[in-house]
Chains A and B, each alone.
Chain A
């Protein structure tokens, strides 16, 4: 079958079931109730501290076929996933589903567990590195489910991703299960992506290397949700958790694109008091913030809030009065941690609050502008952030499709040529974010406006921006680099790309090795 953007989907996907075809960004009308979490109790004298992960496995008990969930706030410094799975393997447990919000190179050990049958299913929003490559090459018999950040929260809350045990990497905990992300050697800032897991999993295990005196303050995840607290020697490597400082790019082409994106925002009439904004932590995205900030300074504009993954640059904008609030689902650096710890206007929010489509008000809906990247974009403005030019998985939506759907204006910034490859193609290999939610593409050689936004087109033309048809930009790139040979894949589905509402926007097929 084909979904509404023309992507071919199997009628039944082995190991996934019957896909609900994507039918439009705002078409889904949920007719269901939320999953009711298990009701639990505890005797007043019971202890939650457990000495080892093995002991927790035995007390719960964790058995074959369960779903274990994890958050990714420790990024490439995570030590918890590997320790938990080593324990599972040592205990001879098989057929686990790992629901880890993002997979990083540090999780390479997963591959061995996949090969030995300890892990047979993976549910995630983003993956890069060796695991992504192994999945692309077909290491798992069942396809990986790739969700958006908002979609994962929705799936947990609505019962499509039931979790048996949530292992919550906690930078700081007390012995009765209060957790936060801002203290201890593995401090990571916001714990936003772990909130739905803590609330809905049957069993919740905090894994920490820093136990503070009861009661912990501040509290991000409260004691009433946490069953066990395990102290390990090391929960994560700070060098992989936070970067020192995130810097704006010095690449002149990236800066040119960023400056142009800032002009687009201004031309669209959005840069005024009360402005709200989301951008990534990458060099070019951050450079957009830099150029926006210059204009806000010149015009004495005070924004409302900045959203998403928070960097020191955004913290500086908060502290200098360019934004009144930061809404933080994930912090990227030491400055973000310092700020969320001390500044009441720096808010820690859950993945649900941030981006779930199935509630009555997620934060992305309040965005004026989001600036996003792309590995490919096609002439219908559909964006791929899942697979690279070789067909191998190298990312995932994360919040991409969520923020694109919510914001008034969604801007994709991309080099027209990446290496020797044109970024604009006739049809993206993997659709991640539908074109109907993308408004403008900004490249170093011109700006293309989605034809569904004629008013925006008029505004950008009136501002004298170099607006071109997306087909013309594509031709310009192909004139320089030629048309790349079309990639061929096998028919076997290795990943199902779910849109934020749970419908299937595309599938990833196995690459030829």
Chain B
């Protein structure tokens, strides 16, 4: 599964940002054709993003394009963007499994022979999308993650958007649970105040503790803070190492259950520890074994 601690939005109509999108170390860049671009500039942005995909080196960052909804410019976006080999399309305002099916059909049509299949991430940002999260998550094939878009969602509810985020607690939990049940990733809504580092940290931590695997970012300055939350700390890595060591020892003694500092270590705990060590190795963090 791809590492998506951070997915950084890059305005699709900003050549300077498109050119430099790869230098910030985000796990994914989202070249945005939707909200960042005014309707009269959609065609120009589409051309720019198509060129960027073919010419700009985004390094290790996964290349995601946020297309427009199918009822506006989505079909045209797919037709031009997909042959330029993005890794993923972020599909906005998904409200049902049929939305993913329609996009899937258009993507399949647009793909060129031998092209690596383009994956999809569904952005759930309406009450209906959240209500049908599990059904959407079960779309087979290209869907690799669900992402929450809380600004549109709370606006639609008439809820007050706060930095603490109690108004989106249920939506977050539904998205996380739906994705986990379907075996795909869940990604948290962006924190929209780029100048509030402490607020970003707290919001990211809240999302991570609920179970999100990553977070959308609206400014490159947010990346280090978000990574800081999602990266395992030395103490957590040490704990994971002890867990794995304890279970190996128990297995060699013919037992499937071990004990660590008086607490039982069983399969789910081992799976979590192994995920942490895998993540740590992937990030080049210090791992003993």
Contacts and interface: CB of A to CB of B under 8 A. Distances in A.
A165 to B, nearest CB: 48
A252 B220 contact: yes
Contacts of B19: 417, 480
B37 to A, nearest CB: 19
Contacts of A253: 16, 20, 23
Contacts of B221: 252, 255
B23 A256 contact: yes
A328 interface: no
A255 B56 contact: no
B119 interface: no
A335 interface: no
Given A417-B19, A480-B19, A252 B56 contact: no
Nearest to A419: B16
Nearest to B220: A252
Contact of A252 (B55, B57, B219): B219
Contacts of B56: 480
Interface in B159-211: none
Nearest to B219: A252
A480 B24 CA distance: 17
A114 to B, nearest CB: 38
Contacts of A417: 19-20
A417 B23 CA distance: 12
A489 B221 CA distance: 42
Nearest to A255: B221
Interface string A466-488: 00000000000001100000000
- Residue from A252, A253, A480 whose CB has the most chain B CB atoms within 10 Å: A252
B23 A445 contact: yes
Contacts, number: 24
A480 to B, nearest CB: 7
Contacts of A479: 57
A256 B21 CA distance: 12
Interface string A254-265: 011000000000
A444 interface: yes
A256 B16 CA distance: 15
Interface in A206-256: 252-253, 255-256
A444 B220 contact: no
B286 to A, nearest CB: 12
A322 to B, nearest CB: 19
A417 B55 CA distance: 15
Interface in A287-317: none
B58 to A, nearest CB: 12
Contacts of B16: 253
Contacts of B20: 252-253, 417, 444
B15 to A, nearest CB: 9
Contacts of A255: 220-221
Interface in B19-35: 19-20, 23-24
- Residue from A256, A417, A444, A480 whose CB has the most chain B CB atoms within 10 Å: A256
- Residue from B16, B19, B20, B56 whose CB has the most chain A CB atoms within 10 Å: B20
Nearest to A259: B224
Interface string A159-202: 00000000000000000000000000000000000000000000
A354 B24 CA distance: 37
A368 to B, nearest CB: 25
A465 to B, nearest CB: 13
B214 to A, nearest CB: 19
Contacts of B17: 252
A370 B219 CA distance: 29
Interface string B216-233: 000111000000000000
A203 B55 CA distance: 63
B223 to A, nearest CB: 9
A445 B19 CA distance: 12
A208 B22 CA distance: 53
Nearest to A476: B57
A444 B16 CA distance: 13
A255 B220 CA distance: 9
23 contacts: A252-B17, A252-B20, A252-B24, A252-B220, A252-B221, A253-B16, A253-B20, A253-B23, A255-B220, A255-B221, A256-B23, A256-B24, A256-B220, A417-B19, A417-B20, A444-B20, A444-B23, A445-B23, A479-B57, A480-B19, A480-B55, A480-B56, A480-B57
Given A252-B220, A417-B19, A444-B23, 15 more contacts: A252-B17, A252-B24, A252-B219, A252-B221, A253-B20, A253-B23, A255-B220, A255-B221, A256-B220, A417-B20, A444-B20, A445-B23, A480-B19, A480-B56, A480-B57
Interface of B: 16-17, 19-20, 23-24, 55-57, 219-221
Q: Which 9 A-B pairs have the closest CB atoms?
A: A252-B220, A444-B23, A253-B20, A445-B23, A256-B23, A256-B24, A255-B221, A252-B221, A444-B20
